[in-house]
A and B are shown apart, each in its own frame.
Chain A
Amino acid sequence: MLKLDRICRTYRTSDVETAALDEVSLEVRAGEFLSIMGPSGCGKSTLLNVLGLIDSPTSGAYWFMGEDVARCSEEQLTLRRRSRVGFVFQNFNLIEDLDVAENVEVALLYVGMSRAERRSRVAEALERVGLMHREHHMPKQLSGGQQQRVAVARALVTRPKLLLADEPTGNLDSANGDAVLDLLGAINRAGTTIVMVTHSAEHANRARRIVHMLDGRIVEDQEIAVAC
């Protein structure tokens, strides 16, 4: 589904060049649940951004669902991202001026869908994360766990093939963190490929594959046996 071949991503300031990704090669198969682990600054989030088409590699090749997108313009990446990729962030990133339903609806606004269909999809997504009763609440009126569930609803409302989660439990207590991971597990079991960045080994173990990173490189790619 996703294939990175010797991807580099460097950032330049006036006199310093930093390699966030250094010849990273990785293949993600459809239906996988993959965790990326590593210390702060090792390039986990950069890798996730490249996978999610919100950042472009400096060099290397990236086949996204069968198409080389490494040299695509921002506009082309946007069009490929629409309805195929969902995002969940550590700090939820809900739009504070929109209520719960409107926040979830944002993901559907750019895929050319009728208002009625959008409403039904939003209701379905909120039902799935158990927040239908909060649809008209503003983000500030929700707990952190609830906000992250809204973010998950927003990520899955387009029925994406790929869901990227960047430290989705980083700002949550353990109970809420577990609940969000349960939700992601269920989404994965329903067929959505998930790539999750996390610091927590316990949370990483929810995945079936763990990739360890250090200094912009993948240092270990570990498959986890699933108990039958």
Chain B
Amino acid sequence: MLANYFAAAIRNLLRNRAYTLINLFGLSLGFAAATLIALYARDEFSYDRFVPNHDRIYRVGEIIEPPGRSPMRLSVTSTTDAEALKLAFPEVEAATRLIPSNLRLSAKQDNEGATLASFWADPSFFDVFPLSGVAGNLANALSQPDSLVLTRRAARQLFSREDVVGETIRVGPDTVMRVAAVVENFPSNSHLNGEVFLPGAASFSPLVTLTAEQRQPGALRSENAYTYVRLRAAANIHDVRSRLGAFTDSHVSGSVNGTPIAKSYTFTLTPLADIHLQPRSIGDIKPPTDVRVLHALIAVAVLILVVACGNFISMMTARASRRAVEVGVRKAAGATQRQIMIQFMGECLFYALLALLPAVVAVELVLPAFNGFLRREIAFDYLTDPRLGLGLIGLTMLTGLAAGAYPALYLSRFKPNAVLRGTALTPQSSRARQSLVVAQFAILIALLVATFTVNRQIHFAIEDRLRLPTDQIYLASEALGCPSSFTDAIPTLGRVKAVTCVSGSTLGFDHISVNFVSPHGGGNVNGRAAQIDYSFFDVFGIQPIAGRLLSPQFGQDDLLRKDPATADNPTVVVNEAAARALGYSSPADAVGTFARWQRLSFMDGRLQFQGQSSSKIAAVVPDFSIGSVRDVIGPTAYYIDPTVSARMVFRFDGGSVQQSLESVRELWEKHSSTAFQGMFLDQFVNALYEDVLTQSAIFTWFSAVAVVLAALGLLGLAIFTAERRTKEIGLRKVMGARRTDILLFLGWQFARPVLWANLIAWPCAYLVMQRWLQGFAYHTDIGILTFVIAGALALVIALATVAGHAMLVARAKPVEALRYE
């Protein structure tokens, strides 16, 4: 029986080559696209699962919620927390800390070396992360203050080989360390991207120096270290979490304006495998993924398969008349409806399996480029990874069954007495096909709206919001500092419009708090302290809304330059958010008033809060940030403070940016032996939105796939409709219809479902994309034009797809059409 079914299926497939190709190509394309998305999603959901016993490892994080401010999530904690947690919780088997390092490493004395992703790590690091060693003993590899661990990749990069245990490496300008062990590379699906693990026990390690600072009496708590704990096998995480509140109260000391800071702190324990799926936090080693976007991508994969299945169903039912006789004969011979259904379901499964082969080849071909774009190492080992192989087969079977169910049911319901007389086909199948086209185009239009909206938001974030020539602004590395001997010489180059020295907090790289006492009552206003110099506003093109900008001619503006240790506060410029938060009804009202505030200053090598004092608000400027549009721009106070303004920012002339940068570099090399490093603002902004840019590209590609699929489906239907309506078209021409009349008639037949599709797609796309945009504090509007363009594009795609075929049909002589029938 199977042979008979198989013969019928294969010959039917070969007899209708055009339809077969459309069907198979569509399904293959759908499978390939869905497989790529599935591989990507699987990779995202598999982060850090390679670490043995990952379910017992947790990253310690913090949520800080200062009074009157939205909470801040931190992936870093104080350097003292690891030890305190181990002491307070018997469930903690081991705790470890990491602090990133940007020291240059060199394998040879005369070599410039390389800056690899490095971390200072506690000796217990490999107790918490029991990774596989390649050489050396990981157990005590970091216990000596001069021993370090390299990954296999780092060893290759530094020594061009992997057997490097015992070799020496110059770390920074004048420290030599010994390679104690080589560890396996971290895969791309790990939130840890370390290549080198430096000994946290070294006397100059920030793990040692910062811990010493934190332990000084009255020291202000600062968050600098990544802390991980490994719980005992029998530990109950819920118990541990329930006791974190009490731990915070006892461990976090100090107060701000009389309020214990422990009240603002919540410790979090994030399972290792969930770190990549958490919302963004300050200090993330690697930007986490947005789970909502992952879900959206999975939905896109499903939609693509739905469109591909739609084509399949459409083609199978359209061609049903050709199989009707077969059904009738088989039924007359005694086949039950179930047997006919099984036959056609089997045939659809066969089609799906046939489509899987080119899909697998396509994925193999595309994956290297896909990996290159995403900077991943996603593998497609379907032969050695049974879950992947079975997943592929399962997906194929599921799609085959989903696509085959309706055609099988439709075909198996033919009444033999009717089909054998040639009268079985009802308009039902035609309506079903029309509905499918409407659904397919609704999906397509919704995907187009999504793609346009994502791209508009990116444009808004990168261009509209900053309104800065991002390719002319250069952010120098913090490691260079801001030596006045160098910045004073910059004007002599004549190629730099302006240079400024600012703190990391000003640029949003870190956060230094400032606490205002609201002059109108209502509690404190916590905000960001932005330590700048006088040319900051010039470099970033910021004009005051009210008041005057800071200037050295006003003594109080220049206060901290003259006396960094003073307890008084300098004049401030605040942003609109601060003016609002302080209760001023307009920016002009704020200007000239005095506000009491508490300032953090860098004294004796550490940050400490000064007492409250008043200073004048000189101006109110618009809310400004080069940070992500995801984050709300909070109250910000700008003031001149050279002690923490250690980051240079240059603004070049538009015409000769590269030459200007070169001349700055040359000047720097005359001043210092270290390399001049940094990045343009556009690179920084692109890195900031890397995930959104990736999402945008993925949405664009897969929307293109959906376009091709929908067009294919329509092409198949156009061929079928033209075939079926040859006589009708011939008759219309005999009755006097012109070629344009026929074209309009056919065009309208295909335009109608596309127009209907808009009615479904527009509200759905609006709701989904509006929700997506809500994830950004600052976002573009979707705009009616987006919908109109998406709808119009879908219409153009539809008409362009069927135009060729419609033209052929319209040009045929009526007599041929009638004779053909």
Contacts and interface: CB of A to CB of B under 8 A. Distances in A.
A24 interface: no
Contacts of B3: 115
Given A74-B337, A102-B7, A106-B4, A97 B326 contact: yes
B421 A45 contact: yes
B334 A82 contact: yes
B7 A87 contact: no
B420 A93 contact: yes
Nearest to A164: B332
A83 B333 CA distance: 7
Interface stretch (B8-16, B39-47, B571-579, B599-607): B8-16
Interface in A135-162: 154, 158
A208 B226 CA distance: 101
B325 interface: yes
B416 interface: yes
Interface string B332-353: 1111110100000000000000
A32 interface: no
Interface string A40-57: 000001000100101100
Interface size class of A (residues with CB under 8 A): 35 or more
Interface in A86-126: 87, 89, 91, 93-99, 102-103, 105-111, 115
B416 A109 contact: no
A209 interface: no
Given A102-B4, A109-B4, A110-B339, A93 B325 contact: yes
Given A97-B12, A105-B4, A78 B335 contact: yes
Contacts of B153: none
Interface in B297-356: 322, 325-326, 328-337, 339
A224 interface: no
Contacts of A78: 331, 334-336
A24 B322 CA distance: 35
A154 B334 CA distance: 13
Contact of A81 (B328, B332, B337): B332
A79 interface: yes
Contacts of A49: 417
Contact of A89 (B8, B326, B415, B420): B420
A109 B333 contact: yes
A21 B332 CA distance: 21
B548 to A, nearest CB: 84
Contacts of B336: 75, 78-79, 110
B422 interface: yes
A97 B7 contact: yes
A54 to B, nearest CB: 5
Nearest to B322: A96
B325 A95 contact: yes
B329 A110 contact: no
Nearest to A151: B329
A109 B8 CA distance: 13
Given A54-B417, A109-B333, A109-B335, A91 B422 contact: yes
A119 to B, nearest CB: 11
B12 A106 contact: no
Nearest to A81: B334
Q: Residue among A97, A106, A108, A111 with the most chain B CB within 10 A?
A: A97
Contact of A106 (B322, B330, B415): B330
Contacts of A95: 8, 325-326, 329
Contacts of B335: 78, 109-110
Interface of A: 45, 49, 52, 54-55, 74-75, 78-79, 81-83, 85, 87, 89, 91, 93-99, 102-103, 105-111, 115, 154, 158
What are the 6 A-B residue pairs with the smallest beta carbon separation, nearest first?
A82-B334, A97-B11, A110-B334, A49-B417, A107-B333, A95-B326
Given A93-B420, A109-B333, 7 more contacts: A45-B417, A55-B415, A75-B337, A96-B322, A106-B329, A107-B333, A115-B3
